[in-house]
Amino acid sequence: MSKSIWFLTLCISTCSIFVISHNSFSQAEADPIANYNENSLRPISNDEIMFKKGLWFRMDLRSKINAPFYSEGKELPKIIIDAVREGKILPFKNDSLTTRISKNEFLKELKIPQADLEKQLFSAEDEINNDWGDDGDSKKNKVFNEGQYEYFPKQLFVVELKIDRVFDKRRSKMYNDIQAVTLIIPAEINPIGVDKVLGTFSYKELYENVFHSKSDGKLVDNPEAIWFNPNNSASHQNLGDAFDLGMYDAILTKYENPKNDAIVDIYGSGRKGLIHSKEAVYKLIEYEAMLWSY
């Protein structure tokens, strides 16, 4: 009799454990991204991340290495701005990727300051010309018609990348998990004389909705979003692939720190700041290499 009771108790306990485990699994299955970074293109479970560090890089699209991102008529800023106009994507206020800004707000920031004043001045000059027999279709009005007094893509040569440097302990590999791409109005063309954020975009959304498009549930390359191969025009790359492969040159400007200071705030600008920027990158490479020394 005691053996029967013992066996029954064991069965009940086993069933209870199964039910609890099943419920836990069902909750995890119902909310699969609860343990992942939803802004990651290829998310890694938080339980599998052994090391993570947030990094900010600055790309100058005018440099020789970055020229393929800046080919005539297919500049990276142009591809992104056109996608906003077409409603394919909406920007965020900053690289925290929490607060959206509207399409109209974004396009308003794209306007050149004093553009309306310049338009009025040219209109006044045209009125004078009309008095002398001008037909009213002046060349200046053609240049300054609606939508043409915005910054040109070639003027937006600064792009910032927010990247999480992540070590996946399951695969024993370090990954660059690109989180955000920010378009900057450079200080050189901003009347205020400082860099100004035009808009920040989720890299995941850029990859899925701009660099590619969905067809029958599959991602298809956008023929306009290309990394221009100067050595072989038959081998242009998709912009998403180019970013994944790290085919860009960028300077580290900030890494996660308690005060959220940029490198120039900590070490100063110029040569000293550049040296510490390079040193921080080399230390991350060394960290990954030394993991195999123990």
> pLDDT, tens digit, for every residue of 124-179?
455 545 555 555 455 445 444 444 588 999 999 999 999 999 999 988 889 999 99
Q: What integer best gives the mean pLDDT of the chain? A: 83
pLDDT at 66 over 90: yes
More confident of the two residues 118 and 242? 242
185 confidence band (pLDDT: 50, 70, 90): very high
Count other Cβ atoms within 10 Å, centred on residue 168.
17
Question: In b/e form, how buried is each residue of 80-92, taking b as 16+ CB within 10 angstroms?
Answer: bbebbeeebbbbb
Burial class (CB in 10 A: 0-12, 13-18, 19+), 199: buried
pLDDT at 22 over 50: no
What is the chain's Cα-based Rg?
Answer: 26
* pLDDT recorded at residue 275: 94
Q: Which helix (H) or strand (E) holds 177?
A: strand 173-185
* pLDDT recorded at residue 27: 41
25 confidence band (pLDDT: 50, 70, 90): very low
pLDDT at 78 over 80: yes
The arithmetic mean of pLDDT across residues 257-277, rounded, is 92
